[in-house]
Amino acid sequence: MDVGTVRALGSPDGQALLRSLPPYDEASVIGLQERLRREGHPPELVAAALTQQRLRARAVAKFGEFATDMLYTPDGLEQASRLEVAATHAGRFYNASLATVHDLGCGIGSDAVAMSALGVTVRGVDIDPVTAAVADTNLRPWPDSRAREGMAEEFEAPRDPLRSRVGVWLDPARRVPGHTGRHGRIKRVFRLDEIRPTWEFVLQVATAVPATGAKLSPSMPHDAVPLGAEAQWTSFGGEVLECAVWWGPLAYTPGRTARILGPNTAPVEVDEQMCEPDPPLVQSATSIGAWLYEPDRAVTQAGLLGAVTAATLGSEVERGLGYVLSDAEVDIPFARRYAVLESMPFTVKTLRAWLGQHGVTGLTIKKRGVRLDDDQLRRELRIGRKAGDGAQATVILTRVAGRQTVLVVDPA
């Protein structure tokens, strides 16, 4: 797809063609393509429209009912902020009463669209001309917001950004163009010194424009969070999607925070003020409490496990593993609670004997801090992935006080 094709898809005729397409069905693509060509549609436009049909079907998971109102590129869809996360970003800029936000590295415009919908004018740029054209098309309901081809490094800050109510949103590239992994996807980078534009440039922009935010990898190092800024790790449905760093009026709670999102659930936020300064550790593998708490991964990634130990009066199984054991039965919205039914030192022989003794034929295995291949372990345990007709069990393989341990648990 080139820029001309994007503009054709965004035209009234192109939009009419897209609206006329049935729901995506891989089995009917060839027949649909032939029919559209017979009707006189240009081959390149038909191919692009069918690609959009396929991408829109995938986009529903990120954008819900709004998926059919946007254009996509394959990489742009994969990298775009999902609707709930984009709305969170946009809310910060809106609450700061900003008139204009420069979206540097706007991608297909998911964040720009969310900001524009709240009345914030967006000036988007993207280094890829097709991606910029897609973003500009997606912004068509808001004529004051536009996207163009350009480099983030060309941005020039206004002399008085506060008076002019200007903000900046950066989404540095975390992928290496032209390099793909073994599954054919563009190779990702996780180190802060590998992003483009550079971390140094991001810091320069944040110095020049106080109302600056940047979308970064969940692997953001804790010691790299700038003084006075807020670094927020966000998860959706248990998957950590990003770490966004906020400066100036966009920073609500300086330091590390976590935001937990999910379908049909209210957002939950955790911050350092909720944490014990030095979370206790389980002192012995024999002093295992009645309950195990598994924090949301955003909480773990943000290094806020102390909020779980504080809320449950519990202790970490071992530093950095992310499990908390406690005798207290507490419902907290940022951790899942399991009843600990039994514990034992971990060996394959011991666990296999326990499974046989209790007639277990269906086994869920969770592990952290223990390196094992699931398939190999199941072969050694002589238990497959199917439920079977016997008892079901969930086991957690982890280290407790330095000792490899099996915890048989039941989700509360």
Can you tell me the mean pLDDT for 38-54? Answer: 93
Q: Over 70: is that where the pLDDT of 182 sits?
A: no
What is the Cα–Cα distance from 246 to 240, expressed in whole angstroms? Answer: 18
Distance CA(50)–CA(237), nearest Å, equals 30
Question: What percent of the chain shows pLDDT beyond 90?
Answer: 86
Share of the chain above pLDDT 70, in %: 96
pTM of the model: 0.92
Q: H-type helices in 29-117, by residue range?
A: 29-38, 43-63, 74-79, 83-95, 110-117
Least confidently predicted of 66-80, 175-189, 246-260, 352-366: 175-189
> Which run of H or E residues covers position 241?
strand 239-246
pLDDT of residue 35: 92
What pLDDT was estimated at residue 184? Answer: 56
The Cα 92–Cα 69 span in angstroms is 24
Residue 65 in tokens? 């009912």
Task: Check whether 216 has a pLDDT greater than 80.
Answer: yes
Per-residue pLDDT band for 206 (boundaries 50, 70, 90) equals very high
How far apart, in Å, are the Cα atoms of 57 and each of 24, 50, 65, 111, 171? 6, 11, 11, 20, 25
Of 377, 375, 372, the C-alpha closest to 351 is 377
Model pLDDT for residues 115-154, shown as the tens digit of each residue: 999 999 999 999 999 999 999 999 999 999 999 999 999 9
State mean pLDDT over 257-266.
95
Predicted confidence at residue 287, as pLDDT, reads: 82
Q: What is the pLDDT of residue 337?
A: 97
Instruction: Name the more confident of 190 and 107.
Output: 107
Establish whether the linkage from the previous residue to 197 is cis, with ω within 30° of 0: yes
| pLDDT of 177 above 70 | no
For residues 36-50, average pLDDT: 92
Amino acid at 214: A
First to last CA, the chain: 50
Q: How many angstroms separate the CA atoms of 113 and 90, rounded?
A: 9
Identify the band that residue 176 occupies on the pLDDT scale cut at 50, 70 and 90.
low
* pLDDT tens digits, 219-230: 999 999 999 999
As beta bridge partners, residue 2 has none
CB 103, CB 112: distance < 8 Å: yes
Question: Does residue 15 have a pLDDT over 90?
Answer: yes
Cβ atoms of 82 and 235 within 8 Å: the answer is: no
pLDDT at 10 over 80: yes
Of 28-32, 167-171, 385-389, the one with minimum mean pLDDT is 385-389
Q: What is the CA radius of gyration of the chain?
A: 25
- 128 phi, psi to nearest 5 deg: -90, 120
